[in-house]
Amino acid sequence: MSLPTVAIVGRPNVGKSTIFNRIAGERISIVEDIPGVTRDRIYATGEWLTRKFNIIDTGGIELSDEPFMTEIRAQAEIAMTEADVIIAVVDGETGITDADEAVANILYRTDKPIILVVNKVDNPERRMEIFDFYSLGLGDPYPVSAVHGIGTGDVLDAIVQNLPNEIEEENENVIKFSLIGRPNVGKSSLINAILGEERVIASPIAGTTRDAIDTHFTDEEGQEFVMIDTAGMRKSGKIYENTEKYSVMRAMRAIDRSDIVLMVINAEEGIREYDMRIAGFAHEAGKGILIVVNKWDTLDKDNSTMKNFEQEIRIKFKFLDYAPIVYVSAKTGQRLNKLPEAIKEIHHAQNLRISSSVLNDVIMDAVAINPTPTDKGKRLKIFYATQVAVKPPTFVVFVNEEELMHFSYLRFLENQIRKAFVFEGTPIHLIARKRK
Ligand SMILES: Nc1nc2c(ncn2[C@@H]2O[C@H](COP(=O)(O)OP(=O)(O)OP(=O)(O)O)[C@@H](O)[C@H]2O)c(=O)[nH]1
Ligand SMILES: Nc1nc2c(ncn2[C@@H]2O[C@H](COP(=O)(O)OP(=O)(O)OP(=O)(O)O)[C@@H](O)[C@H]2O)c(=O)[nH]1
């Protein structure tokens, strides 16, 4: 589902990251061994009163070599482009500075809701001073002490009140996908090729955010697709558009809105750090993933080229062992016809429901091959398993003691499930729960 976005702006040192961490709370997960972008701590998901939203700390988007004022203005512009609600942070300890006024001046141009947060209001005496901040012209100041968690509840209330109404009715039959990859890997060429190949009338439809334009099309079999816009990949000449953090953030937003992500890699360049972070994020988000190696025409190939390439991918994207790989050329058209097919198969896999009886047969066979682990003389007992969700397929395994379920055994069960059913291209989640 597509989530609304909240962006935090303000000059350095006012406490943006502290507020970001408060709002994102425990939802910033740091998963070991997966180079997910969640560690960058500029993009996370927050939740309050059952409303979920994405939150961006624009302070984390640093523009190297730009003068200080240019940088904070650019960050405010990013907030105005990306967000549905903007949190402008100032410092109650130091009062209003020129930089705060510069930020306010940029924000006057937007009609998006702005919540003015006066941070570092650590004690009641200081509350009286927040009235000075009315002069910024950004509305009522909300006093907060982010380090102590005071006042953040009111800010969250204000965020939720200002979020746009639930957007985009979900149509389960439509496949939403996006093409993600570093600049110049050939995303636009592939998009044009896919649309050309399908010989369909592609019509841009307004997306959930003002500036996102998604492309809607139907293939010959009547399957509907929505290609999610990755507008940030377009070159608009803004100074921040080319920064890696911004491009990563745009990619993350596109991933959030997609069911399936086409991770595009340039055959000439191989896999880069950027690819691993984006892929890690898509994996953590439970999205379907197709690895597309483009510019296949540029390589001098022999019998082992493809095998070697696959090996590199499998080593670098260790956590994506379920993702199929397609080697294509947007230039010559080689294997482009495989893309819609592969997308449809992944969509099928991520929506697959396994009946409990069939699932439990597989689990029991698995336990017969590889007995459950023991710890301090106690053996893990598996009572039964059941699928609780799709997209991604999620299974709960009921056990005697959760602690006895080791990661490696869960991994083994996952492999057995993958051998028994076709879950190619989708992560699957296994959760151990103590039976009540
Ligand atoms: N007294 C007090 N200090 C705070 C509070 N919130 C943050 N700080 C401190 O203010 C400093 C800056 O906080 P950050 O969250 O890093 O500020 P920032 O705006 O993200 O800064 P940049 O990353 O430089 O943009 C840190 O030393 C924090 O500990 C608060 O509520 N009260
Ligand atoms: N040889 C070859 N060149 C390709 C292929 N696909 C794209 N190109 C070229 O690679 C360059 C970049 O292609 P784009 O489609 O603009 O790449 P992009 O990923 O959309 O780039 P950004 O807009 O910068 O994000 C162009 O010069 C293309 O003609 C391919 O399969 N083979």
Closest CA to 240 of 72, 89, 22: 72
Parallel, antiparallel, or unpaired: how do β-strands 429-434 and 394-399 relate?
Answer: parallel
- Is residue 217's pLDDT more than 90? no
Closest CA to 254 of 285, 219, 224, 223: 285
In whole angstroms, give the CA distance from residue 15 to residue 421: 49
Q: Is 167 among the domain residues?
A: no
Q: Is 374 among the domain residues?
A: yes
- Cβ of 294 closer than 6 Å to ligand 1, yes or no, is no
Q: Does 194 share its domain with 248?
A: yes
Peptide bond into 35 cis (omega under 30): no
What percent of the chain stands above pLDDT 70? 88
Nearest CA to ligand 1 atom 15: 15
- Cβ of 294 closer than 6 Å to ligand 2, yes or no, is yes
60 is in an annotated binding site: yes
The pLDDT value given to residue 118:
96
pLDDT category, 286, cuts 50, 70, 90?
very high
Asked which of 104-113, 124-133, 289-298, 305-314 is least confident by mean pLDDT, the reply is 124-133
The CA 110 to ligand 1 mean position distance, Å, reads 26
- Is residue 156's pLDDT more than 60? yes
- Cβ of 388 closer than 6 Å to ligand 1, yes or no, is no
DSSP code of residue 182: S
188 is in an annotated binding site: yes
- Is residue 68's pLDDT more than 90? no
| Ligand 2 pocket mutation, candidates 180, 184, 298, 299, criterion most atoms within 8 A of CB | 184
Nearest CA to ligand 1 atom 30: 120
Q: Is 360 among the domain residues?
A: yes
- Is residue 342's pLDDT more than 60? yes
In this predicted model, what pLDDT tens digit does every residue of 375-397 receive, in sequence order? 889 999 999 999 999 999 999 99
The pLDDT value given to residue 237:
63
The CA 296 to ligand 2 mean position distance, Å, reads 12
In whole angstroms, give the CA distance from residue 312 to residue 83: 37
pLDDT category, 417, cuts 50, 70, 90?
very high
| Ligand 2 pocket mutation, candidates 179, 188, 189, 326, criterion most atoms within 8 A of CB | 189
In whole angstroms, give the CA distance from residue 409 to residue 382: 11
Query: Which of 115, 138, 162 marks a domain boundary?
Result: 162
Structural domain boundaries enclosing 322: 174-349
- Is residue 213's pLDDT more than 80? no
The pLDDT value given to residue 102:
93
Q: Does 231 share its domain with 144?
A: no
57 is in an annotated binding site: yes
Query: Which two structure tokens, joined as six digits, stand for 267?
Result: 């055959």
Q: Which ligand has its closest atom nearest to the C-alpha of 242? A: 2
The CA 113 to ligand 1 mean position distance, Å, reads 23
Q: Does 155 share its domain with 185?
A: no
Q: Is 101 among the domain residues?
A: yes
- Is residue 200's pLDDT more than 80? no
- Cβ of 232 closer than 6 Å to ligand 2, yes or no, is no
Q: Is 168 among the domain residues?
A: no
Q: Which helix (H) or strand (E) holds 383?
A: strand 382-389
Query: Which of 109, 129, 162 marks a domain boundary?
Result: 162
In this predicted model, what pLDDT tens digit does every residue of 230-284 receive, in sequence order? 654 455 566 676 677 777 888 888 898 899 999 999 999 989 888 988 899 899 8
Q: Is 103 among the domain residues?
A: yes
Q: Does 263 share its domain with 369?
A: no
The CA 64 to ligand 2 mean position distance, Å, reads 26
Q: Which ligand has its closest atom nearest to the C-alpha of 332? A: 2
Q: Is 105 among the domain residues?
A: yes
Asked which of 124-128, 309-313, 322-326 is least confident by mean pLDDT, the reply is 124-128
Query: Which of 315, 349, 383 marks a domain boundary?
Result: 349
Q: Is 51 among the domain residues?
A: yes
pLDDT category, 125, cuts 50, 70, 90?
confident
pLDDT category, 31, cuts 50, 70, 90?
very low
pTM value > 0.80: no
Q: Does 54 share its domain with 129?
A: yes
Distances (CA, A) of 318 to 203, 268, 310, 314: 37, 21, 11, 5
- Cβ of 188 closer than 6 Å to ligand 1, yes or no, is no
Q: Does 268 share its domain with 385?
A: no
Q: Mean pLDDT for the chain?
A: 86
Q: Does 184 share its domain with 154?
A: no
296 is in an annotated binding site: yes
User: How many structural domains is the chain composed of?
Assistant: 3
The pLDDT value given to residue 205:
46
- Is residue 433's pLDDT more than 80? yes
- Cβ of 58 closer than 6 Å to ligand 1, yes or no, is no
The pLDDT value given to residue 81:
84
Neighbouring residues of 142: CB distance < 8 A, sequence distance ≥ 6: 115, 116, 117, 118, 151, 154, 155, 158
pLDDT category, 207, cuts 50, 70, 90?
very low
Question: Which atom of ligand 1 is the closest one to the Cα of 122?
Answer: 32
CATH number for 413: 3.30.300.20
Q: CA 190, 195, 198, 204: dihedral to nearest 10 degrees?
A: 150
Closest CA to 108 of 250, 9, 14, 231: 9
Q: Does 220 share its domain with 122?
A: no
Q: Which ligand has its closest atom nearest to the C-alpha of 22? A: 1
Q: Does 43 share its domain with 154?
A: yes
In this predicted model, what pLDDT tens digit does every residue of 13-29 receive, in sequence order? 899 988 988 888 754 44
Q: With a threshold of 0.95, tell me whether the complex ipTM lies above it.
A: no
Chain centroid to Cα 9, Å, comes to 21
Q: Does 254 share its domain with 340?
A: yes
Q: Does 101 share its domain with 221?
A: no
Q: Does 340 share its domain with 223?
A: yes
CATH number for 16: 3.40.50.300
The pLDDT value given to residue 42:
78
The CA 295 to ligand 2 mean position distance, Å, reads 8
Q: Kindly state the average pLDDT of the residues 57-75.
A: 82
- Cβ of 15 closer than 6 Å to ligand 1, yes or no, is yes
